[in-house]
A = this chain, B = another copy of it.
Amino acid sequence: MFRLTVRDHIMIAHSFRGAVFGPAQRLHGATFVVDLELQRPDLDESGIVADIGLVSELLKTVLAPLDYRNLDELDEFRGRNTTTEVLAREIAEWVRARILAGALGDEAKGALHGVKVTLRESHLAWASYEARLAPA
């Protein structure tokens, strides 16, 4: 299996609901360093998993609505905790939808097997979500 990863980041504010979160129930924030990994069993005829320029653009496009935002005010997260884990899944699902819509081209759309998104919230903690990318 081949894996290709690109890195970007977002800087957001948010708060959590639930005693388990302790002081993180207060409005605070995070820099999330975001790694997007694409998985593919063999390479295309150029010798790549996907066009790294398109992959970086795709990640930036998907992150843009979150960057420099208070996630508590965004409709798509209303009533949900935007934990590192939840954000990793949301970002991965948005990436998946765009790939299936052709954002990386038709060849990659059919050939990519999986996507993994890792969010690093500090030098001491990170979380990831990995999903199959099987086209319908």
Contacts and interface: CB of A to CB of B under 8 A. Distances in A.
A26 B80 contact: no
Contacts of A128: 2-3
A24 to B, nearest CB: 6
Nearest to A22: B53
A3 to B, nearest CB: 5
A29 B30 contact: yes
B26 A68 contact: yes
B27 A13 contact: yes
Number of this chain's copies in the assembly equals 6
A109 to B, nearest CB: 15
A52 B6 CA distance: 23
Interface in A82-136: 82-86, 88-89, 121-130
Interface in A1-49: 1-9, 11-14, 16, 18, 20-24, 26-33, 43, 46-49
Nearest to A44: B20
Given A43-B85, A46-B18, A47-B80, A27 B70 contact: yes
A89 to B, nearest CB: 7
